Structure 1
Amino acid sequence: MKNFRCIIVFLAFNSPFVCATGGSAVITCYLYVDNSWEETQVVKNASTHQIKESCPENVDQTKRIKLQGSAKILYQDSLKDISKLSKLEIVNVHVEEIQPGTFKDLPKFNTIDLSDNNLYEIKTGTFVNLEVVSLFMHRNLISVLHEGAFQNLSNVAQLTLERNRLHELKRGVFQNVTVGKFLLGKNNISKIEIGAFADMFPYDEFGIRLFLTNNRFAEIDSSVFDCKGIGTLGLANNFISTLRPGDLRNLPNLYEIILTGNKIKKVPEGVFNGSKITDIILGWNVISVIESEAFRDMKHLQFVDVRHNKVKEWDSNWFRGAPSLIIIFSHNSLQTIPAEGFKNIPQNSTLYLDHNCIKNISDSAFNGITILQGLNLRSNELEEWNVDLLKNVKIHDFDLTRNKIECPIGGPRSLAPKADIVRVSACSEVEKK
């Protein structure tokens, strides 16, 4: 027996999607046969009030609607009684307005895609009491989200409002909203009212992944970012210059903070300490100072990325009490690794110290370390290597390429006898066990 589904394609020819007097459209119906769509009926110049009459009798099985052409307004009740609709695609058809009630009494959606239109506001009551997995509204002209625009919106795995013209987020816009990934990047947001995220709840165990990338934030305001449900906070490519103790105190379940591409100069103690954070991403800032206790008491920490900054000194007190780590300090200005410099580096960690200016490593730098997953010292200024430095350290991958070290008489392995892989530029081959 054929599995019936239906796509309805509207070619509106500058007519509204649905209006009080009907509207001109082309409605194309399909059967879903052998994993492909089979066209069964085309009705031209049809009234969009008569969708059910224009398609086969079992149009009640309609799963997908696609609107093409030009339609400036989506009217109230325009999708009424399509009881099994799960996917709605209204992309690049010049929609300027969605009337509240357009999606009233509709069932559970998989996708509503309203991207690449000319929407300039989302009115109160537009997305109310809906269950939708993916809601896309990127690349519109939205500058205003009214209070109650998103209310009782549940089971949203992804809500996308990227590439619009938002300047602020007000309290009450997102009321009782359950969401996973929430994308607000590439707007002009500089202001968020206190409580804007207070009524939002996580879709899954990973929490709300809130991305505010490429906006105009100058600081992290703890009174604004006050939401137990936020698991990831993405603030890359903003204008943040200062981190302050307590900035993240109202995000108790935060596990990932992304601050790439800001103007941060210093990482003080008290920003991250004692939190549940696993990933700290600070690349491409202008950081020259990281306080000695900045990463203390971080029992969940797994990944720290400080690449492309201006750090000159390695502090042996960093990372005390952390578990196994991936630590990236590539492309900084480190010159020396001090005595017992890695004494607080957890066993089985990976260290990326490539593309620095390291000329000297203390003979006791690796004291206490017995196993590393990786040690990358590529592209530094090392001219000598003490063969005793790593004699007691088991390493999977050790990279000394692009330094000034000559190939030792005993071969690369003599520099790290317990390494699985040793790379030295002056040696003709990579030595492996």
Structure 2
Amino acid sequence: MKTTIILLTIILTFVLGTTHSATITCDLIATPYGNTLATNILRNASTHHTKTSCLGNTDQNKRITVQGQVEALYEDSFKDIPKLREIEIVDATLKEIQPGTFKDLPRLKSVSLEDTNLRELKSGTFVNLETSLLYLGRNSISVLREGAFQNLWNLRELSLESNDLRELKRGVFGNVSLGIFSLGNNSISTIEAGTFAEVSGRDKFGIGLSLFKNDIEEIDASVFDNKDIVSLDLGNNSISVLRPGDLRNLPKLSSISLSGNKLREVPEGVFSGSKITSVVLSCNEISFIAGGAFDDMKDLYFVDVSNNRVKEWSNNWFRGVESRLSIIFSYNSIEAIPADAFKNVPESSSLDLDHNRIQDIPDGAFGGMKGLRRLVLSYNKIRTWKSDLMRNVQVATFVDLRGNEIGCPEGGANSLVPGAKMVILDNCRGKGFKFT
């Protein structure tokens, strides 16, 4: 049988103390017929005193970087480098990783396989490893076999971003403990129930799960069923409907992003009563939000509904919210503000209502409110502003009224909101305008 020769370039970096390092480059030859990479390093490298310099018995940390024509990694490829800590394979022609490639490396902390031709991860590829960082992004992976990731207890981050995944099946991730789980920028449209059942949080901070920029059409409670997920990014998918109870199996969820989907309304029972602190609903098609959509969310502090089609502000929103809020409704179609509009908004909150169609703010709109951190009403169609509209409201930073039809009062911009540190109004400084 004719032997095919593959040229490799392996860079091994030895960290010397904490102030400097030395890099040794070895040009090596390996065959694709089962000889281990480490063995070929020792047998075939004829320069640089490979055995003592590249793989010598040293207590120094080691890092291997492989680039170029490397089409496969074999079982025990790294067995003769037991003190190896980092493996980086980037910009290579890698197509296959055989199960067992990374076994018996007790000090291995980081594996990075990016920008390769890898299309499949076989069962047993990443099993019983002490690795804390596993980067598998920007490849061509479309198939994850059952058991591809098993018994990984120390992962801080697992990234499969920017591959060609279309589905996720139960059993791929078994007994995996991690902090950040990135599956964004794929083409995932199907996730089998229980896919994340054997994934747990690495520490008290829980799991941050990212599935942004895929083709997911719904939030299925049988899929998103994990007590350790604290952050969920579903931005830029194709979700068109939110249903009461969709998030019921995520008891620790604190932050959710649904930006860039196809949502048209937000009913009660999706977020209300939960422990969620941050909700991002920007860049959808939302025209209706139920009055009780954000009820009893005691810890809620951030809501972004910008770039939607909301026409009416409800004075029933945010009942039972206790923490200071940052509310962003910029770039909507709100035309009117009702009386007692902000009665449920906690003191020292911020309100961004710029780039809407608000024409009038009635007396009593700020009734019951004592203080705001910021109020942005710029680029609406407000024609008049009564000086006593916010007479009892203290604004810690500024009120922005630019881009409206409000004339400059005799007393200057700041006379419009006496309790504000600063009021910004087109071509209106004059008496009373202050910066301190």
Deviation at 1:15, TM superposition (A): 4.5
| 1:244-263 correspondence to structure 2 within 5 Å | 244-263=243-262
Deviation at 1:421, TM superposition (A): 1.6
What is the match of residue 426 of structure 1? 427
What is the match of residue 387 of structure 1? 387
Deviation at 1:380, TM superposition (A): 0.6
Deviation at 1:420, TM superposition (A): 1.0
For the pair 1:412 / 2:413, whether they are aligned, the reply is: yes
What is the match of residue 336 of structure 1? 336
Partner Cα distance (1:233, 1:239) in 2? 15
> What count of residue pairs does the alignment treat as equivalent?
413
How much identity, in percent, do the aligned residues show? Answer: 51
Deviation at 1:82, TM superposition (A): 1.7
SS of 1:49's equivalent in the other structure is: helix
What is the match of residue 206 of structure 1? 205
Unmatched 5+ stretches in structure 2: 31-36, 43-49
SS of 2:152's equivalent in the other structure is: coil
For the pair 1:147 / 2:146, whether they are aligned, the reply is: yes
Partner Cα distance (2:302, 2:112) in 1? 35
Could you tell me which amino acid in structure 2 is paired with residue 210 of structure 1?
Answer: L
SS of 2:225's equivalent in the other structure is: coil
Please point out which of 38, 41, 46 is paired with 2:22: 38
Partner Cα distance (2:11, 2:286) in 1? 58
Deviation at 1:313, TM superposition (A): 0.4
Query: What TM-score do you get using the length of structure 1 for normalisation?
Result: 0.91
1:142–1:165 contact (8 Å) kept in structure 2: yes
1:15–1:71 contact (8 Å) kept in structure 2: no
2:28–2:41 contact (8 Å) kept in structure 1: no
Deviation at 1:199, TM superposition (A): 0.4
Superimposed CA distance per residue, residues 223-252 of structure 1 (whole angstroms, 9 cap, x where no aligned partner): 111111111111111111111111101111
What is the match of residue 19 of structure 1? none
Deviation at 1:86, TM superposition (A): 1.3
| 1:9-408 correspondence to structure 2 within 5 Å | 15=5, 25=8, 31-33=14-16, 35-39=19-23, 42=26, 45=29, 48-49=38-39, 51=41, 54-56=51-53, 57-59=56-58, 61-322=60-321, 323-396=323-396, 397-408=398-409
Superimposed CA distance per residue, residues 235-285 of structure 1 (whole angstroms, 9 cap, x where no aligned partner): 111111111111101111111110000110000000011111000000000
Unmatched 5+ stretches in structure 1: 1-13, 17-23
Deviation at 1:30, TM superposition (A): 5.3
Say if 1:84 and 1:424 are closer, same or farther in 2 by CA, change over 3 A.
same
1:423–1:431 contact (8 Å) kept in structure 2: no
Say if 1:151 and 1:42 are closer, same or farther in 2 by CA, change over 3 A.
closer
Say if 1:367 and 1:94 are closer, same or farther in 2 by CA, change over 3 A.
same
Deviation at 1:39, TM superposition (A): 4.5
Superimposed CA distance per residue, residues 363-386 of structure 1 (whole angstroms, 9 cap, x where no aligned partner): 001111111000000111111101
Partner Cα distance (2:402, 2:88) in 1? 52
Judge which range, 422-431 or 296-305, deviates more.
422-431
Judge which range, 306-315 or 176-185, deviates more.
176-185
Could you tell me which amino acid in structure 1 is paired with residue 183 of structure 2?
Answer: L
1:81–1:106 contact (8 Å) kept in structure 2: no
Judge which range, 411-420 or 104-113, deviates more.
104-113
What is the match of residue 20 of structure 1? none
2:15–2:61 contact (8 Å) kept in structure 1: no
Partner Cα distance (1:398, 1:411) in 2? 14
Partner Cα distance (1:15, 1:384) in 2? 81
SS of 2:84's equivalent in the other structure is: coil
What is the match of residue 34 of structure 2? none
Deviation at 1:41, TM superposition (A): 7.4
Say if 1:421 and 1:252 are closer, same or farther in 2 by CA, change over 3 A.
same
SS of 1:413's equivalent in the other structure is: helix
Could you tell me which amino acid in structure 2 is paired with residue 38 of structure 1?
Answer: A
Aligned residues: CA RMSD: 1.9
Judge which range, 56-65 or 317-326, deviates more.
56-65
Partner Cα distance (1:187, 1:29) in 2? 32
Could you tell me which amino acid in structure 1 is paired with residue 130 of structure 2?
Answer: E
1:41–1:55 contact (8 Å) kept in structure 2: no
1:405–1:426 contact (8 Å) kept in structure 2: no
1:168–1:191 contact (8 Å) kept in structure 2: yes
Query: What TM-score do you get using the length of structure 2 for normalisation?
Result: 0.90
SS of 1:114's equivalent in the other structure is: strand
Could you tell me which amino acid in structure 2 is paired with residue 431 of structure 1?
Answer: K
Deviation at 1:37, TM superposition (A): 3.1
